Amino acid sequence: MEQKIGEIRERLQAANENELPAFIKIYREDVRPGVRALVEKAQKRLNAFEKELCRTEKMKEYEKKFDSFFHICGIDEVGRGPLAGPVVAGAVILPKDCDILYLNDSKQLTEKKREELFDVIRENAVAVGLGFVSPERIDEINILRATYEAMREAIGRLETAPDLLLVDAVTIPEVSIRQVPIIKGDAKSISIAAASIIAKVTRDRLMCEYDRVYPQYGFASNKGYGAKAHIDALREFGPSPIHRRSFIKNFL
């Protein structure tokens, strides 16, 4: 008895990427237009999956290069540019056999994908550390030094000690562990990408909490960055306790 197209569609919807080759093999000789469309859809999914496998494998270049190190930690920060809120650093040690797909610079991912990957990273990572530096501290020591401070705190909060640090663009002062700075590292290393996502989601959630306390600034949507509506509110209501005084002088 010929299988109904609706049943085939349901089978495709339920199939994971590893099951797509078998699906295509079973149905590729079916001449019905509806089934042919489903096979084409399956092939597109498979092509995209294989492309992502290749991209992710390429992002393991530095992890493979330094494979002799046991616990490689990626480090990145989020929030150097906003007018309000903390700078947040993430430190992530991924397992040697890490097979998480879609890791990338957090800015290149949708909010939904970042949230999904946040949970996957948390579930699979050997260790995750976070560092926070407040707006007051940023004003006191400047944003670059505050960024380094957040990164050191993130490293210190790891439950497993790293023996190599892959860092996005910078070399962190006052850290004795060997470091490898990588320009645009969040797009070149799965470890740094994971740290970027952890830091970004954490800071975004924090800014949404601040939005409930200081709703007039629109922190839930602008995350503290200098959007026009944010600057207009800053001029109308003045600064909140989480604004960086050294960043807003030109707007008041």
pLDDT band at residue 2 under the 50/70/90 scheme: confident
Can you state the angle between helices 5-14 and 33-58, rounded to 10 degrees?
10
Model pLDDT, residue 251: 86
**Mean pLDDT over residues 2-14, rounded?**
92
Residue 1 confidence (pLDDT) above 80:
no
Q: Which two tokens stand for residue 118?
A: 């946040």
Among residues 56, 51, 95, which one has the least CA distance to residue 187?
56
Q: Do 177 and 78 fall into the same domain?
A: yes
Model pLDDT, residue 235: 96
Among residues 138, 145, 186, 137, which one has the least CA distance to residue 166?
186
Q: Which two tokens stand for residue 33?
A: 């237009």
Amino acid at 3: Q
Summarised one tens digit per residue, pLDDT across range 45-85 is 999 999 999 999 999 999 999 999 999 999 999 999 999 99
Q: Do 38 and 95 fall into the same domain?
A: no
Number of domains in the chain: 2
What burial class does residue 31 get, using C-beta atoms within 10 Å of its C-beta: 0-12 exposed, 13-18 middle, 19+ buried?
A: exposed
Q: Is residue 36 part of a domain?
A: yes
Q: Do 50 and 67 fall into the same domain?
A: no
Q: Is residue 210 part of a domain?
A: no
Query: In which domain, by residue range, is 193 found?
Result: 62-200
Q: Return mean pLDDT, the chain.
A: 96
Q: Is residue 181 part of a domain?
A: yes
Q: How many helices (H) and strands (E) does the chain have?
A: 10, 5
Please report the DSSP string for 216-236 in residue order: GG-HHHHTTS--HHHHHHHHH
Q: Do 27 and 98 fall into the same domain?
A: no
Model pLDDT, residue 185: 96
Q: Do 38 and 97 fall into the same domain?
A: no
